[in-house]
């Protein structure tokens, strides 16, 4: 199998699986229990929190474990709106956010909020000026993703944060595709909420985290219950998943600069190699090292995905979270129909090789040469 869909999820290294199995088998205590098995697990969870917080560049007490990026996004949106409920009922976000943010904002619209959706340019770009110009005196929240999950565009979160520093408006960024992919620290970034997820960096599904910064006062919990995570996120801690998350962070941060350079080199090689295929066009202006969006103009993307899948090559027709539905990100670019209909996403990890790219390019060229365009 040639796996070129690391933006959807990532392979789990054996060390991560072994760590999780050991917790499931021998370290199964409930962190809330008051006997030694539980107390030992409570300490372990705090050690794992320090590991993840260290990689994010924040204090451990500012990091709260969640079940996934979607939970973190929803929690951030609702907590920010609750804190600023007396400031106003306006939200600024972008038209190319992950569905977890867009649907959370649409839910807030049903609660009477007004949402401004910033449109990208034809290459997926969004500027800090666009975002800040949309902010009003009654804006409770700005939510802008760090790295677009379909295009790889990196958005100017630190610049937006500086523009909001003197305002009460809170800033959230979905950094699921940015964490350990593009360099940043929570301290330097300046966002009030930062969402991350384990399974995008070699960790398990079912674990994520939300950073909550010092401007957030007594954040409103998303879930009511037993008061875990400092009473801010109830629910028994998923200890094996958290252990796997921390182990994945340890592994990914080893020689991280070399890993990022490798992914960037693979992406550059892919862009050059694929561009030689007739009717293939690079989409967007993404600078993240692990995501490349292309269009085989005139050939339907789902047909391409199915064809390559039959050859053991995994690519995506946009975000895996769309479950086959048309991409709102591609639609926001307002591309010609034949271009938009042929968009596929390739995404890379530290394991991806130039040989993987060569095999994908050969399969795409063969698809072009043997299938009739249908758009």
Q: What is the pLDDT along the chain (375 residues), one digit of tens a residue?
A: 999 999 999 999 999 999 999 999 999 999 999 999 999 999 999 999 999 999 999 999 999 999 999 999 999 999 999 999 999 999 999 999 999 999 999 999 999 999 999 999 999 999 999 999 999 999 999 999 999 999 999 999 999 999 999 999 999 999 999 999 999 999 999 999 999 999 999 999 999 999 999 999 989 999 999 999 998 999 999 999 999 999 999 999 999 999 999 999 999 999 999 999 999 999 999 999 999 999 999 999 999 999 999 999 999 996 544 555 679 999 999 999 999 999 999 999 999 999 999 999 999 999 999 999 988
What pTM was estimated for this model as a whole? Answer: 0.96
**Among 81, 314, 321, 360, the one annotated catalytic:** 321
pLDDT of residue 321: 46
Rounded CA gap, 167 and 161, in Å?
10
The residues facing 174 across adjacent strands are 195
In whole angstroms, how far apart are CA 350 and each of 244, 309, 347? 18, 21, 11
The question of whether 321 is a catalytic residue gets the answer: yes
33 neighbors 43 (Cβ within 8 angstroms): no
| Token pair recorded at residue 92 | 């600024």
What HEC string does 179-200 produce? Answer: CCCCCCCHHHHCCCEEEEEHHH
| Token pair recorded at residue 87 | 């400031």
pLDDT of residue 246: 98
Rounded CA gap, 275 and 255, in Å?
31
Rounded CA gap, 215 and 330, in Å?
34
Structural domains of the chain, with CATH: 2-9+255-370 (3.90.1150.10), 14-253 (3.40.640.10)
CB count in 10 Å sphere of residue 61: 12
Share of the chain above pLDDT 70, in %: 98
Rounded CA gap, 188 and 333, in Å?
30
Mean pLDDT of the chain: 96
Look at the block and give the residue holding tokens 């490349």: 292
């Amino acid at each position: 199998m040639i796996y070129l869909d690391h933006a959807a999820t990532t392979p789990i290294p054996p060390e991560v699986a072994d760590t999780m199995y050991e917790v499931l088998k021998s370290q199964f205590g409930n962190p809330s229990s008051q006997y030694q098995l539980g107390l030992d697990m409570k300490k372990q969870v705090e050690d794992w929190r320090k590991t993840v917080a260290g990689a994010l560049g924040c204090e451990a007490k500012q990091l709260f474990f969640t079940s996934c990026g979607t939970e973190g996004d929803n929690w951030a949106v609702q907590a920010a709106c609750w804190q600023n409920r007396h400031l106003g009922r306006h939200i600024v976000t972008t038209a190319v956010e992950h569905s977890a943010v867009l649907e959370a904002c649409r839910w807030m619209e049903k609660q009477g909020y007004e949402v401004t959706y910033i449109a990208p340019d034809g290459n997926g770009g969004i500027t800090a000026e666009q975002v800040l110009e949309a902010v009003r005196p009654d804006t409770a929240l700005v939510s802008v993703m760090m790295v677009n999950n379909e295009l790889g565009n990196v958005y100017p979160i630190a610049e937006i944060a500086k523009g909001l520093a003197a305002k009460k408006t809170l800033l959230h960024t979905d950094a699921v595709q940015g964490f350990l992919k593009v360099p940043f620290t929570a301290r330097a970034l300046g966002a009030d909420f930062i969402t991350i997820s384990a399974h995008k960096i070699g960790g398990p599904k079912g674990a994520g985290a939300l950073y909550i910064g010092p401007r957030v006062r007594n954040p409103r919990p998303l879930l009511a219950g037993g008061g875990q995570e400092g009473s801010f996120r109830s629910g028994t801690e998923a200890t094996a998943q958290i252990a796997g998350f921390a182990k994945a962070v340890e592994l990914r941060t080893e020689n991280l600069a070399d890993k990022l350079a490798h992914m960037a080199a693979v992406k550059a090689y892919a862009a050059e190699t694929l561009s030689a295929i007739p009717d293939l066009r690079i989409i967007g202006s993404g600078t993240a090292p692990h995501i490349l969006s292309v269009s085989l103009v005139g050939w339907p993307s789902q047909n391409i995905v199915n064809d390559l899948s039959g050859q053991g090559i995994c690519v995506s027709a946009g975000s895996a979270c769309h479950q086959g539905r048309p991409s709102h990100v591609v639609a926001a670019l307002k591309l010609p129909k034949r271009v938009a209909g042929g968009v596929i996403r390739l995404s890379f990890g530290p394991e991806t090789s130039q040989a993987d790219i060569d095999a994908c390019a050969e399969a795409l060229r063969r698809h072009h040469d043997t299938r009739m365009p249908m758009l």
